[in-house]
Structure 1
Amino acid sequence: MEGKILVSRSGAGEYTYADSGVDRDLRLRSKEALRLLDSTLRLSRYGDIVQLPYGRLIPFRMGCFLDLVIEGVGTKVLVAQLAGKFDTVGVDGVAMAVNDVIRSGARPICLADNLHVQRSDPHLVRELLKGVADGAEEAGCPVVGGEIGDVAEVIRGEGGDKGFDLVVACIGEVSEAEIVRGLGIKPGDPIIGLRSSGIHSNGVTLARKVLLKRWGGAFDAFETPEGFEKPIVYEILEPTKIYVKPLLRVLEELRVKAVVHITGDAYLKFGRLMDLNPGIGFEFTNFKPQPIFNLIQETARRIKGPISDQEMLRTFNMGWGLALIVDKGLVDECLDVLDKEEAGAEVIGQANNTGRISAYFKGRRLMLR
């Protein structure tokens, strides 16, 4: 495709994720501390732990491996508190955990939740756990435990005493032969995207500070922007899609090389696959962002400063919540399976031999990494 190549640099006056309070560089330096945990891996009881692009698998008898994930929903909980609507973030908590587990090819087998509240409010707790139960039903996975803790001196939320934070853990199981390892990616291999429902649970800090007056943005919480059908606070609270059923269906039918949950750092997440496949790069050519993403960019331009297209693609899913990489000879079969599951799947790009991550967006080729 023809188009001017733009290198990813923040220009003067641009509004970035760091400006909203999330500094990628600082977070990356903080994550260096995770190396302190590596020495504990020798304590594995049943054999060597398997390192994957986005996590590790625990060996557990008879060729079975366990995938353990624990996830939160970030500052989306503040939006829920502002709206007084708590059920959808329960779904988000489950989605963030199970969608991470399935990246390894594992089937989620159980969930547990940890709910810390400013005060034990029966309505708030009931609505949150209703959402957790709804998400668990969609994922086909039981909730087997959890905790509710009152931590009024730790949590101060929006709207009086409605503060809370939610964390959900998930365990999945996978046989050694069925592990999705992120290896063997070749130039020309297609990237298949599954449709997102909107923002999901990442980039919410930036979205809040651009869109909601409570945090310096443009709109009252229950204001409906022109062209939208519901108040902006409910657009942000649209729950994260759960991809367990369509992905497991694909894994039953064909071999998948890699699965990427497009969450924090968005399309930069593909960089971990580049580390495992030397010389491989990725180009994305098909984006279908929901209207809320355009609203974020347009509103920021008016009141904060422009958000570059590169920054949008490094922060938001831009219409695709999960991505699969398969052999190019399997693309039609994969799309057929996903069509039957009504996953809204399309080819969104392909692997190449550039060693870079690029995107063809709004008529321009952008370099993301």
Structure 2
Amino acid sequence: MPKNYTYTDAGVNRAQRHESKKALASLKETYKHIGFGGIMRLPYGNLFPIDDNTFLDLEIEGVGTKVLIAELADKHDTIGVDAVAMVVNDVIRSGAKPLALADNIHAVASEPKLVNAWLKGIIAGAEESLCPVVNGETGDVAEIIRGIKPNSGFDMVVSCVGKVEKQNVITGEGIKPGDPIIGLPSSGVHSNGITLVRKILFKQWGGKYEATDIPQGLEREVALEVLEPTKIYVQPLLKLAREVKIKGAVHITGDSYTKFNNLANYSPGIGFRFDNFNPHPIFGLIQKTAAELGYTITDEEMFKTFNMGWGFGIIVDKTDIDKAMNTLEQDSVKPQRIGKVTDKERVVEIKHGEKRLILT
């Protein structure tokens, strides 16, 4: 491994993924089958109409290699929360209310104890999202799924459909320099950057620790710290949307703070400055452990890969900031102002302590 260690070095090639996404343009050929009007394009996905005033937001998400940590720790009862969180947090970016969930689990073997544990997490996530699980499938595909222990390998994907009225869609339009950015705290790593985490922190993949080790700075086993479920933001976000106009909503996942630049496609001429960070100890541990192994994970790489303490970003007009903060505080989500919109087009600035970073 090179001294400067990146997500690409860990096995997730951002440039290749970006190039591959160009193939998605071919899906436009299928849009002709929509019965009412056309697709509404948004910063982070598309809505499709079911009548003149109502749109559906259909999303599908997985938890990536976090399933391997669940398998390593033999703790399977929370990974379903992550799967639900990843998809419902994507649905609410458009202002849509989650209506229904469906799960797909592929496993080496559908061992009853494991299936019960997986579903326990999915149910917990669904309850918190106020959304029913109406369908699902569990497939035994031992020739495809290998895993790291006998008969316990699996993959988990959840889809969700949400509904939003046309006048309530969060479009990403009308964002102006000076608009504040509100952050909703994350619970930790969530479900992104796990490939890098695994290869730095866990001996199983060439890192430093056993799953049951408690590194300095943590208060529990390292595997349990990484497995802390992804936070679900459905209820506070939808409540806020009823009280103020939300200009932009960002689920801070893959590509982290650079994702905000998608909003510049809908509000041209804007950039973003973030200046309020208090990352969980796990993030410092990742950088520190990498250094102990002889690698360097730069600050830029950390802010491009991980949420660094904020799981969801909300942009409102500066005249609405007090009402927005008061509304969110009533739901005990501990919101904070984490930055503001600037006039530096597509420039993402990070201020963390004495550090000043520009993300590209």
Range class of TM-score, shorter chain: over 0.9
Which whole-Å CA distance do the structure 1 matches of 2:308 and 2:218 have between them?
A: 17
One-letter amino acid of the counterpart of residue 193, structure 1: G
Q: 2:334 and 2:294 mapped to 1: Cα distance?
A: 33
Residue correspondence of structure 1 range 66-81 to structure 2 within 5 A: 66-81=56-71
Aligned length: 358
Counterpart of 1:199? Answer: 189
Match of 1:322 among 312, 315, 320: 312
Shift of 1:343: 0.8
Shift in Å, 1:271: 1.2
Matched position secondary structure for 1:257: strand
Does residue 30 (structure 1) correspond to residue 27 (structure 2)? The answer is no
Match of 2:286 in 1: 296
Residue 187 (1) aligns with residue 181 (2): no
| Helix, strand or coil at the partner of 2:18 | helix
Matching residue's letter, 1:358: E
**Secondary structure, counterpart of 1:157 in structure 2:** coil
Give 3-state SS (helix, strand or coil) of 1:214's partner.
helix
Other-structure match for 1:367: 358
Q: Which moved more, 1:191-200 or 1:267-276?
A: 267-276
| Corresponding residue number in structure 2 for 1:351 | 341
Aligned match of 1:136: 126
Partner residue of 1:4? none
Partner of residue 209, structure 1: 199
| CA-to-aligned-CA distance 1:250-307 (integer Å, 9 cap, x gap) | 0111100000000000001011111222211001111111000000011001104111
Whether 1:126 aligns to 2:146 is no
Distance 2:222 2:96 in 1: 36
Q: Are 1:210 and 1:304, in contact at CA under 8 Å, matched by a contact in 2?
A: no
- TM-superposed CA distance for 1:347, in Å, is 0.5
Question: In the alignment, what sits opposite 2:88?
Answer: 98
The structural deviation recorded for 1:361 is: 1.7
1:362/1:13 CA distance change after superposition, 3 Å? farther
Query: Aligned equivalents of 1:47 and 1:185: distance in 2?
Result: 26
Partner of 1:52: 42
Contact 2:200 2:207 in 1 (8 A): yes
Q: TM-score, normalised by structure 1?
A: 0.96
SS of structure 2 residue aligned to 1:66:
strand
Structure 1 regions of 5+ residues with no counterpart? 1-11
Shift, 1:226, TM fit: 1.5
Residue equivalent to 2:33: 43
Q: 1:274 aligns with which of 264, 267, 271?
A: 264
Q: Distance in 2 between matches of 1:88 and 1:158?
A: 19
What does 1:107-122 align with in structure 2 at a 5 Å threshold? 107-122=97-112
The offset of 1:13, in angstroms, is 2.5
For the Cα contact (< 8 Å) 2:147–2:153, is it kept in 1?
yes
1:283 corresponds, among 262, 267, 273, to 273
Match of 1:258 in 2: 248
- Bigger drift between 219-228 and 168-177 goes to 219-228
Q: Alpha-carbon deviation of 1:126?
A: 0.5
| 8 A contact 2:3–2:296 mirrored in 1 | yes
Instruction: Note if contact 2:96-2:162 (Cα within 8 Å) is conserved in structure 1.
Output: yes
Question: Matches of 2:292 and 2:11 in 1, distance apart?
Answer: 19
Q: Distance in 1 between matches of 2:359 and 2:6?
A: 14
Is contact 1:15-1:304 (8 Å) kept? no
Distance (Å, rounded) in 2 between the aligned partners of 1:13 and 1:97: 35
Q: In the TM superposition, what is the alpha-carbon distance from 1:108 to its structure 2 partner? A: 0.3
* Secondary structure in 2 matching 1:102: helix
Q: Does 1:16 align with 2:6?
A: yes
Question: Are residue 337 (structure 1) and residue 330 (structure 2) matched?
Answer: no
What is the letter of the counterpart of residue 63 of structure 1?
N
Return 5+ residue gaps in structure 2 as ranges: none
**Cα deviation, residue 229, structure 1:** 1.4
For 1:132 and 1:76, the matched residues in 2 are separated by 15
**TM-score (normalizing by structure 2):** 0.98
Are positions 1:234 and 2:224 aligned together? yes
Give 3-state SS (helix, strand or coil) of 2:229's partner.
coil
What amino acid is the match of 1:348? I
Name the amino acid aligned to 2:163.
E
Distance 2:182 2:58 in 1: 25
> Which residue number in structure 2 is paired with residue 223 of structure 1?
213
Q: Which stretch shifts more, 256-265 or 352-361?
A: 352-361
Does the CA-based 8 Å contact 2:257-2:303 persist in structure 1? yes
SS in structure 2 at match of 1:87: coil
Confirm or deny: 8 A CA contact 2:36 2:51 kept in the other structure: yes
Distance 2:294 2:194 in 1: 16
Shift of 1:106: 0.3
Alpha-carbon offset, residue 315 of structure 1:
0.1
Q: Could you tell me how far apart the structure 2 residues matched to 1:45 and 1:95 are?
A: 30
The Cα shift of 1:227 comes to 2.6
| Paired residue type of 1:353 | D
Q: Is the 8 A contact 2:36 2:52 kept in 1?
A: no
